[in-house]
Chain A
Amino acid sequence: MDETIRAVLRDNARLPGDVDALRPDDDLYRAGLTSHASVNVMLALEDAFDFEFPDALLKKSTFESIAAIRSALESLDVDDPNLAGR
């Protein structure tokens, strides 16, 4: 799941640094994630994992780290499409 999240970040987060160098708990906003880019990340995650975030999760902290995104997806029982059928 982390790898799919990283792929979404690479394409949408417009971070100045290398996404692969980020640890799961690193603060994405400190790494350069802007408010508008975080919206693109949110929409791209919905596309990649084929689900919709409930309104309660449409907030800054949901997207503050790779680990936070993973825990939000797990709390919604979202399946990683790249692992489907394995």
Chain B
Amino acid sequence: MSAGGSLVGAALKGALLADGILVESGVPGLYQRSEVFESVVRGVESAARSAARYVGGFEPLRFLPPIMPRETFVKTGYLRSFPDLIGSVETFEGGDAEHAALLRTADAGGDWTQALSPSEVTLCSAACHSLYPHLAGTLGAGGRYLELQGFCFRHEPSPDPVRMQSFRMHELVHVGTPSSAVAHRDAWLERGLRTLRDLGLPVEPVVANDPFFGRAGRMLAANQRATELKYEIVCAVTSTEKPTAIASANYHEDHFGSPFGILAEDGSPAHSACFGFGLERVALALFAVHGLHPGGWPAEVRDRLRP
């Protein structure tokens, strides 16, 4: 295939590494990214922001750090449903004696992390999680529309470059009533499809479920599918048989409204919905479909990626 041809399939990773677009870290799922990769990610961000600007009504974009308050994290319920994906930050709180002991353990190849203790922060599992405590109280008429972006961590080490441990989500969140939340989810599923198709990506919507943990998780997943709470937008990236979810549209019911004390105008727990673009995954899909060199991508695609 020429540089401008399709790289969809298992060959994508080798091509990205050979070109230095991604650089392996030695840990599965963790990569350094070249300027070319980063410029495409920012292009996808531009396309997402254009879609939001076109609709209007969103509060100013908020960028979230990759860590969040532990207390907020626990309230999200993520621990209950996805214990296998989480990351918690530990820090050293000892004095000189404990430091010396830590170094002795580390020098001997032992488990020096035993000397650490949990800090007040955890890694973010989803960008919108950090947001909800700021929305507590009674919402005005029509609820709120928020645009945000942040780094997320999921501990699912994999050699497949679409499954990164550290990645960014660009999210369009709404909190309001059950009907306005469902309307937001459905409208953004359509808008997301259009935005990604305008980038030349062959995407399709599918009913999906989150990877809930354990036996309880099997039931949560079945419930989520039966009630069609979650849709994913999938695209063939590193596999044609198993397309990758590059964006998702989620109706949370009152999963966040209730624990965070967010109330609709009528005093009942607010319902929420979010649409998230997986920025790195969309970027990888663009490389897979259009080739390694963005300068050679179709003009209409390059236009839409321009800030």
Measuring CB to CB, which residues of chain A are less than 8 angstroms from any residue of chain B? 34-36, 38-39, 42-43, 55, 58-61
**Could you list some 7 contacts between A and B, CB below 8 A?**
A35-B220, A42-B219, A58-B218, A58-B219, A59-B222, A60-B226, A61-B226
With known contacts A35-B223, A36-B80, A38-B223, A58–B215 Cβ distance under 8 A: yes
Q: Chain A contact residues: over half helix, strand or loop, or mixed?
A: helix
CB atoms of A43 and B216 under 8 A apart: yes
Distance between Cα atoms of A38 and B216 in the complex (Å): 9
B223 in complex: contacting residue of A43, A55, A59, CB < 8 Å: A59
Distance between Cα atoms of A59 and B270 in the complex (Å): 26
With known contacts A34-B253, A60-B227, A39–B222 Cβ distance under 8 A: no
Instruction: Please tell me if B224 contacts chain A, counting CB pairs below 8 Å.
Output: yes
Closest partner residue, chain B, to A35 (CB atom) = B223
Closest partner residue, chain A, to B217 (CB atom) = A39
Q: Report how many residues on chain B are interfacial, defined by Cβ distance under 8 Å.
A: 13
Distance between Cα atoms of A39 and B212 in the complex (Å): 12
B8 → A minimal CB distance (Å)? 33
Residues of A contacting B220 with CB < 8 Å?
Answer: 35-36, 39
Contact digits for B269-291, partner A, Cβ 8 Å, 1 yes 0 no: 00000000000000000000000
With known contacts A34-B253, A36-B80, A60–B216 Cβ distance under 8 A: no
Residues of B contacting A39 with CB < 8 Å?
Answer: 216, 219-220
CB atoms of A42 and B216 under 8 A apart: yes
With known contacts A36-B80, A39-B216, A42-B216, A58–B253 Cβ distance under 8 A: no
B43 → A minimal CB distance (Å)? 37
Residues of B contacting A34 with CB < 8 Å?
Answer: 253
Residues of A contacting B218 with CB < 8 Å?
Answer: 55, 58
A31 → B minimal CB distance (Å)? 15
Residues of B contacting A59 with CB < 8 Å?
Answer: 219, 222-223, 226
- A58-B215, A60-B223, A60-B227 known; 7 new pairs, CB 8 Å cut-off, are A38-B219, A38-B223, A39-B216, A39-B219, A43-B216, A58-B222, A59-B226
Distance between Cα atoms of A35 and B195 in the complex (Å): 32
Distance between Cα atoms of A53 and B220 in the complex (Å): 14
Residues of A contacting B226 with CB < 8 Å?
Answer: 59-61
Closest partner residue, chain A, to B214 (CB atom) = A39
Distance between Cα atoms of A36 and B215 in the complex (Å): 12
Distance between Cα atoms of A78 and B220 in the complex (Å): 23
